[in-house]
Amino acid sequence: MDLGELAANKLFELEPQNSGNYILLSNLYASKGRWEDVQRVRDGMNKVGLKKGTGWSWVEYKGKMHKFIVGDKSHERSDDIYKLLATLRRKMRDAGYAADKSCVLRDVEEEEKEEMVGTHSEKLAICFALLVSEAGAVIRVVKNLRMCWDCHTAFKMISKLEERKILVRDNNRFHCFSDGLCSCNDYW
């Protein structure tokens, strides 16, 4: 924790307008349940006029980009997407999947954490792609942030259950999910 705080303070000096540095420190505090420190860092961001970038994912279909954010219900096929997502969750749970809520770095109830992680933008994008593509077609998703561990685990399972190859480009690397495995060998 001390090293993380030291590094963050140096980064604040070097890049005072980089919101990512504040988010890293906030996430460090959140991972240790230090919610007052999380709020202090977030307040500091607001004080200097910085905002956290929104995470989004997109899929191309018929030459059009379909963009999703966490919990997004604005898409024209939103009802269908959420129905498929609920079906996939049941199938995954039956196959042994349990949501990893550790990536939700907010002080909220466990049920809310499960809902938050369950509606990540890339999950919505993959459900949309499953709805509109032919059986067996490769699904391609682009994500502007790093995918969380729960989504990584879920996509391995979805690739196996739905017999699909799923390619996800996050801001770290390409992932190719196929038959329950990922090309990164879980190096994520």
| Choice between 182 and 98, residue whose per-residue pLDDT is larger | 182
For 121-158, the pLDDT digits (tens) are 999 999 999 999 999 999 999 999 888 888 999 999 99
Residue type, 15: E
pLDDT computed for residue 187 by the predictor: 82
Instruction: Flag the least confident range among 72-81, 105-114, 148-157, 173-182.
Output: 105-114
| Choice between 98 and 65, residue whose per-residue pLDDT is larger | 65
Three-class DSSP labels, the chain: CHHHHHHHHHHHHHCCCCHHHHHHHHHHHHHCCCHHHHHHHHHHHHHCCCCCCCCEEEEEECCEEEEEECCCCCCCCHHHHHHHHHHHHHHHHHCCCCCCHHHCCCCCCHHHHHHHHHCCHHHHHHHHHHHHCCCCCCEEEEECCCCCHHHHHHHHHHHHHCCCCEEEECCCCEEEEECCEECCCCCC
Assign 54 a pLDDT band (cuts: 50, 70, 90).
confident
Domain locations along the chain = 2-47, 56-182
Q: How many other CB atoms sit within 10 Å of the CB of residue 61? A: 13
Q: What is the mean pLDDT of the chain?
A: 89
pLDDT computed for residue 17 by the predictor: 86
pLDDT computed for residue 86 by the predictor: 95
pLDDT computed for residue 174 by the predictor: 94
Q: Mean pLDDT throughout 162-173?
A: 94
If you average pLDDT over each of 20-24, 49-53, 113-117, 176-180, which comes out highest?
176-180
DSSP strand pairing (64-69 vs 139-143): unpaired
Q: Is a pLDDT exceeding 70 seen at residue 119?
A: yes
